[in-house]
């Protein structure tokens, strides 16, 4: 049966109808987005310009920082523009592209976090075999597997979105295009599609969260046999990872692990994994990380003094 597409664009209803809230959100996100870009670029350049890049944890962290930039850039600039000009339309093609990029970069980020958890598990539970297990080739394979997993997850999401017929209302009660809000405006029975989304998104997110939670339980259990200094350093690193995992997974589980429906609270929870978590990731990973702070100080401070000495 031919797919009906009697609309060429969608109207994003945004976060709120209240003008004051819209102004507040515009000012807030106008600050958050540059801060997000600056923080993640700072981490990315600092790692690439130092010896930390050759350590597995920071190798994965550099990929996480670049993914945060790509992930949030697929939503936030459009959101800021809509809040500024009040035009909240998005073309059909751009809407489908947004569905794909959100799930593609978001799922890769989840798989990278899984690789980082595995790296910490090996470092703490099997320290004598760490360099053998987490060699450079295996790190590359982890990243390649993360990108492949992102493609396997996101292309079915895109195909499900493209296959939906739209012949009535084109108003999406969200600030970006996602599969559940699109199901609400499709002019067909979307129960089966909703079940597929639940399996493809909700169950996958839950399974990975349980896996990550289990790995950190094993890590914390193993730390009982370490020295006080070793426990402090390991807990500092694992604490950063756990904080990022909770900020990303908790709202994602709330939104995707349920029957295909939408709630007003969805937009607030979505802010956590689209803007808030990517913005705080640089702080979370550097605030209590001595190696990262030393690398940043070495790269940026020495670079500044070298340029100053050259000019003089």
Give the pLDDT means over successive 10-residue stretches in the chain (312 positions).
66 86 90 91 88 89 92 92 84 93 93 90 86 91 95 92 85 89 86 86 88 85 73 72 84 82 80 87 75 76 55 50
Task: Give the pLDDT score at 303.
Answer: 53
Residue 120, number of CB atoms within 10 A of its CB:
20
Task: Give the pLDDT score at 307.
Answer: 54
Task: Give the pLDDT score at 156.
Answer: 92
Q: 3: which DSSP letter?
A: P
E strand or H helix at 242, and its extent?
Answer: helix 228-256
Task: Give the pLDDT score at 217.
Answer: 85
Task: Give the pLDDT score at 1.
Answer: 42
Cβ atoms of 222 and 209 within 8 Å: the answer is no
E strand or H helix at 77, and its extent?
Answer: helix 76-85
Euclidean distance between CA atoms 212 and 203, whole angstroms: 14
% helix, strand, coil for the chain, step of 5: 80, 5, 20
User: Looking at the chain, how many residues does it have?
Assistant: 312
Task: Give the pLDDT score at 200.
Answer: 85
Phi, psi of 261 (to 5 degrees): -150, 170
Find where tokens 């070793």 sit: 230
Question: How far apart are the two ends of the chain, measured CA to CA in Å?
Answer: 74
Indicate the pTM of the whole model: 0.87
Take residue 171 and report the two structure tokens written for it: 């108003």
Cβ atoms of 244 and 281 within 8 Å: the answer is yes
Widest Cα–Cα separation across the chain? 74
Euclidean distance between CA atoms 249 and 172, whole angstroms: 24
Task: Give the pLDDT score at 302.
Answer: 64
Task: Give the pLDDT score at 173.
Answer: 87
């Amino acid at each position: 049966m031919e797919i009906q597409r009697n609309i060429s664009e969608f109207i994003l209803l945004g976060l709120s109808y209240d003008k004051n809230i819209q102004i507040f959100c515009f000012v807030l996100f106008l600050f958050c987005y540059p801060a997000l870009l600056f923080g993640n670029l700072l981490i990315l350049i600092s790692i690439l310009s130092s010896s930390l890049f050759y350590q597995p944890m920071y190798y994965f962290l550099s990929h996480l920082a670049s993914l945060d930039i790509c992930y949030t850039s697929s939503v936030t600039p459009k959101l800021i523009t809509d809040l500024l000009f009040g035009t909240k339309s998005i073309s059909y093609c751009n809407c489908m592209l947004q569905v794909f990029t959100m799930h593609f970069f978001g799922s890769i980020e989840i798989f990278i976090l899984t690789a980082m958890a595995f790296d910490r598990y090996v470092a703490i539970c099997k320290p004598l075999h760490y360099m053998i297990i987490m060699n450079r080739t295996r790190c590359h394979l982890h990243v390649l597997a993360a990108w492949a997993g992102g493609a396997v997850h996101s292309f079915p999401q895109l195909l499900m979105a493209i296959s939906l017929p739209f012949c009535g209302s084109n108003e999406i009660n969200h600030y970006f295009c996602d599969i559940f809000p699109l199901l609400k405006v499709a002019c067909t029975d979307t129960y089966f599609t909703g079940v597929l989304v639940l399996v493809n998104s909700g169950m996958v997110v839950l399974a990975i969260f349980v896996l990550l939670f289990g790995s950190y339980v094993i890590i914390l259990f193993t730390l009982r046999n370490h020295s006080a200094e070793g426990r402090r350093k390991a807990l500092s690193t694992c604490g950063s990872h756990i904080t990022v995992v909770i900020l990303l997974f908790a709202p994602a589980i709330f939104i995707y692990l349920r029957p295909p429906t939408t709630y007003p609270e969805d937009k607030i929870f979505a802010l956590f994994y689209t803007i808030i978590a990517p913005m705080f990731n640089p702080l979370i990973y550097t605030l209590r990380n001595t190696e990262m702070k030393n690398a940043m100080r070495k790269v940026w401070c020495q670079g500044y003094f070298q340029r100053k000495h050259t000019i003089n």
